[in-house]
Amino acid sequence: MKKITLCLMLFGAMYSINAQKINLGKAAGMVSNGAKALTFTNEDAVKLSKESVDWMDKNNAVAGPKDPYTVRLNKLFGKHKSQDGMNLNYKVYKVKDINAFACADGSVRVFSSLMDIMTDNELLAVIGHEIGHVKNQDTKDAMKSAYLKAAALDAASSASSAVATLNESQVGKMANAFLDASHSKKQESEADTYSYDFMKANKYDVVGAYTAFKKLALLSEGSTQSNFEKMFNSHPDSNKRAESIKKRAEKDGLWKDPGTVTLPTAKLTK
């Protein structure tokens, strides 16, 4: 398995099956004093995001156009390639980590193992959340930090205000540096809201957002540690976020009790 990295991690968390851990590498040290001279624009974030995603696509197993995972994703999101003023592109990484991410250039990548445990409505909610991060431009600061780490810049060496061109090795380091990205509770809440509104506006079942969070909560519980490893302890509480979705759905008259949410024992196709 080649390296793989995450731009904006699925609902603030990433889980890895013990049988196949992904080598995430280590980002360079923190930048001293923030390289204040650098002018970093949204256009820079888009350009560097595309370079990072191109690197990841080359270094990981991508499902082909006729692969069942690709067929399913296209069926779900084919009509959303132009969404809310954004041009989006979707691919599936055939890896055992459970995740999805989105980047400033509109790239959305979904992991096959996530698709194995999520229903169509849950996937719609997950990717809607990631699209929300793109729409809200949450990637800009994370990309700037990753760029500075990859270029080994600090305040003393950042006299230039322009973004330099990175070599392939640096692009790989920049991609992996996205692992350091974290988002505020406000950013996560806004992405949750975007996801719910996306579901509601397109007449999808908003309860899918609730059950997706409940499944993520199950993945992080001790009873599931034989199959899943909780990678981060600081991500927002999934149960609380599920309850927030429930309250809003009840207010909108869209709540339908899904019953007890469990992790599937077989791959889901819908």
Question: Would you name the residues annotated as active-site residues?
Answer: 130
Distance of CA 87 to the CA centre of its chain: 17
The C-alpha atoms of residue 57 and residue 51 are separated, in whole angstroms, by: 10
| φ/ψ (deg, to 5) at 177 | -65, -15
237: tokens are 């509480």
Which residues does residue 89 pair with via DSSP β-bridges, in sequence order? 107
The 10 Å Cβ neighbour count of residue 224 is: 15
Helix (H, G, I), strand (E, B) or coil at 49: helix
**Whether the Cβ atoms of residue 90 and residue 108 lie closer than 8 Å to each other:** yes
257: tokens are 């009790």
**Whether the Cβ atoms of residue 130 and residue 101 lie closer than 8 Å to each other:** yes
**Whether the Cβ atoms of residue 74 and residue 58 lie closer than 8 Å to each other:** no
Burial of 17 (0-12, 13-18, 19+ CB in 10 A): middle
The C-alpha atoms of residue 62 and residue 211 are separated, in whole angstroms, by: 27
